[in-house]
Structure 1
Amino acid sequence: MQVFDFAIAVEWEYDYDYLRLIERFAHQQGISTYVIWPENLAATLEQLQRKEIGFAFFYDRASDNSPDFLVLNQFLQQQKTPMLDTWAALQWAADKALIHRKFIEVGIEVPYTYIIPPAKKVSRISFIEPELYRLGTPFVVKPANTHGGGIGVVRGARTLADVQEARLTFPDNKYLLQKKIIPREQDGRRFWFRGFYTCGMVQIAWWNDLNCVFNTFTERDLDAYRLHVLYRIMRQAARVCRLNFFSTEIAMDRTGKFIAIDYVNEMCDMRLKSRHYDGVPDQVVENIVRQIVAHARRRIGKAG
């Protein structure tokens, strides 16, 4: 049986640059790689089942959007293959209603939120008019169990009718109604950030919530605006969600309060800023890749 050190499942064409970086850094460390795309998924699973090939470490970036990959994930889990994050852990962290409560328990500030049941369980909500007043207008409506990318999120809701319409997008999901956070603005910046946690390492980037554009966060920014608390919040979030790799949106509001907005994005968009206007700064992505490869090397017991 041929055993590959590091297997990664991908199904999004825009992951190619990220994948290429992972393979490059892995090969530099003497770590062999194997990539599973939709086109070779069935053949790969057959080879694994026949024990013609094996994987020492697995990174799944496909099962969240492509259920076909779940069979592969479950097979490898049965084989006790080490993974960057297990499917069960990813699903647990993706529950925004659950993480909302957990963040409050550890002292992470979150927006004022009202959680409503799935439309399939309660078809119409008729008892939350007082809550709408507390939320203010406009407010945000978001499903509790989607995998990032803003899918199903309504950022300009104003009425109960808007809520009713939004929750029909994912009728099996609980929904969060959240007070809209207006960030501080200073020196031409909106104080909205995206923190990335990767196997113990925290990185921060500026992120504009209006156009989704990232900008590099520097040591000078850290000191000039006294933003050290961002790192503490990310480490608290990591202890809550128990993932090795995720991102969190954090905003500083006009009163100076730091608020976690999107909780845990467990499947991060890793398009490069050098190739996409709304991509992640290249150095941040490279640091993430180095950290993941180092984590894989430790898990498979390869010397650095």
Structure 2
Amino acid sequence: MEFYDLAIAYKWIYDRELTELIEKMFQKNGLKTFIIGVHNLNEIIEKVKNDELSFTAILDRASDEDESFVELAKLITKKNTYIINEYEKIETAIDKAKMHIKLEKENFPLPFTIIAPKYEITPKLSISKRNMQKLKIPFVIKPAYYSGGGDGVVTDATTMQEIEHSRKINYDDRYLIQKKIYPKNINGRRVWLRVFWFFNEVFPVWWSDETHIYEEISDEETLSQNLIKMKDYTTKLAEITGLDYFSSEFTLDEKDNLFLIDYVNDQCDLRMKSVHHDGVPDNIVVKFVEKMFEKVNSLKS
């Protein structure tokens, strides 16, 4: 039987840089890696099925966007392989409606939200005058499940007709109707952050929800009280979801109220800033690989 420490399954062309970095850093430190792509997928499925090939762990960044990888994902769950971001845990974590209910019970700082049922079950939705006053206009409409990368999100909705239109698009999904939060502006910068969780550590970075540009956080800024709170909430999110890695979005409004805006993004975009103007700072991507190496290496002992 062939054996490797880490298998990396990917489909997105921009994951190639991440994959090359993982291979370089893992192999330099004595761990064996194996790449799974469209080019060898069928062969790998057969080998895994026949116990001719095995892995200590797998980083699957393919099956969520290409159904042809799902058979491999199902096979791997039956093997003695550690799945980075276990599939069942992802299913719950990326459902914004389920997560909102959980996080509300845990007193997370969330925008006022109305969870609209699936259109296929409840076509007619009514929102009380009191709740509309809490929402204010404009408000935000988000699919609970089908909203990766901001897909289907309406950030400046003003009417019930827009809610109805959105619900019809993904008629089998619940929707979050949320109060729009306006970020505080300090020295020309909107106070909006993306906070990464990599295995057992938190890595916050400045991120613009408008331009999608990242900036690193200074040592001074890391000591701020609100940033400490963001780190604490992210750690709590990791405990609740059980995920190995993800990112979340936080902001501060004009009154310095902290809000968790985007709860869990499981397939982080890890393109590097040195290659892409809207990429993640390189040292953060390196940290992801380092923390993953520590995890995989610990599984061998």
TM-score norm. by structure 2 comes to 0.96
Q: Matches of 2:147 and 2:135 in 1, distance apart?
A: 24
Structure 2 counterpart of 1:153, one-letter code? V
Q: Matches of 1:147 and 1:135 in 2, distance apart?
A: 21
Mapping for residues 173-188 of structure 1, pairs under 5 Å? 173-188=173-188
Match of 1:61 in 2: 61
- Runs of 4+ more than 3 Å apart: 126-130, 223-226
**1:222 maps to 2:222:** yes
Q: Shift in Å at residue 193 of structure 1?
A: 0.3
> For each residue in 1:136-168, what CA deviation from the matched residue of structure 2 results, as whole angstroms up to 9, or x when unmatched?
111111111136311111111110111111122
Q: Helix, strand or coil for the counterpart of 1:275?
A: coil
**1:189 maps to 2:189:** yes
Structure 2 counterpart of 1:198, one-letter code? F
**Which runs of no fewer than 5 residues in structure 1 stay unpaired?**
none
Match of 1:88 in 2: 88
**1:153 maps to 2:166:** no
2:147–2:153 CA contact under 8 A, matched in 1: no
Q: Shift in Å at residue 79 of structure 1?
A: 1.3
State the structure with bigger RCO (CA 8 A, min sep 6), 1 or 2. 1
Match of 1:112 in 2: 112
Over the residues paired in the alignment, what is the CA RMSD in angstroms? 1.5
Match of 1:246 in 2: 246
Match of 2:266 in 1: 266
Q: How many pairs align? A: 301
Q: Shift in Å at residue 251 of structure 1?
A: 0.5
1:147–1:267 CA contact under 8 A, matched in 2: no
Match of 2:11 in 1: 11
Structure 2 counterpart of 1:195, one-letter code? V
Structure 2 counterpart of 1:263, one-letter code? Y
Q: Helix, strand or coil for the counterpart of 2:84?
A: coil
Q: Check 1:130–1:162 CA distance in 2 against 1; reply closer, same or farther (3 A cut).
A: farther
Q: Helix, strand or coil for the counterpart of 2:77?
A: helix
Q: Matches of 1:225 and 1:233 in 2, distance apart?
A: 13
Q: Matches of 2:8 and 2:157 in 1, distance apart?
A: 39
Moved more, 220-229 or 137-146: 220-229
> For each residue in 1:23-80, what CA deviation from the matched residue of structure 2 results, as whole angstroms up to 9, or x when unmatched?
1111112111111112221111011112221112111111211222121111011113
Structure 2 counterpart of 1:111, one-letter code? P
> For each residue in 1:162-196, what CA deviation from the matched residue of structure 2 results, as whole angstroms up to 9, or x when unmatched?
11111222221100001111111111211100000
2:202–2:235 CA contact under 8 A, matched in 1: yes
Match of 2:257 in 1: 257
Q: Matches of 2:260 and 2:226 in 1, distance apart?
A: 17
Q: Matches of 1:235 and 1:202 in 2, distance apart?
A: 7
Q: Helix, strand or coil for the counterpart of 1:202?
A: strand
Moved more, 34-43 or 241-250: 34-43
Q: Shift in Å at residue 264 of structure 1?
A: 0.6
> For each residue in 1:192-250, what CA deviation from the matched residue of structure 2 results, as whole angstroms up to 9, or x when unmatched?
00000011110000011111111111212223675322211211111121111010001
> For each residue in 1:93-121, what CA deviation from the matched residue of structure 2 results, as whole angstroms up to 9, or x when unmatched?
11111111221222210010000111111
Structure 1 counterpart of 2:96, one-letter code? K
Structure 2 counterpart of 1:216, one-letter code? E
Match of 1:169 in 2: 169
Match of 2:207 in 1: 207
Match of 2:25 in 1: 25
Q: Matches of 2:147 and 2:42 in 1, distance apart?
A: 24
Match of 1:48 in 2: 48
1:248–1:265 CA contact under 8 A, matched in 2: yes
Q: Shift in Å at residue 84 of structure 1?
A: 1.1
2:56–2:80 CA contact under 8 A, matched in 1: no
Q: Check 1:97–1:117 CA distance in 2 against 1; reply closer, same or farther (3 A cut).
A: same
Match of 2:125 in 1: 125
Q: Helix, strand or coil for the counterpart of 1:229?
A: helix
Q: Check 1:98–1:257 CA distance in 2 against 1; reply closer, same or farther (3 A cut).
A: same
TM-score norm. by structure 1 comes to 0.95
Q: Helix, strand or coil for the counterpart of 2:131?
A: helix
Q: Which has the higher strand share?
A: 2
**Which runs of no fewer than 5 residues in structure 2 stay unpaired?**
none
Q: Helix, strand or coil for the counterpart of 1:131?
A: helix
Structure 1 counterpart of 2:76, one-letter code? L
Q: Matches of 2:291 and 2:15 in 1, distance apart?
A: 17
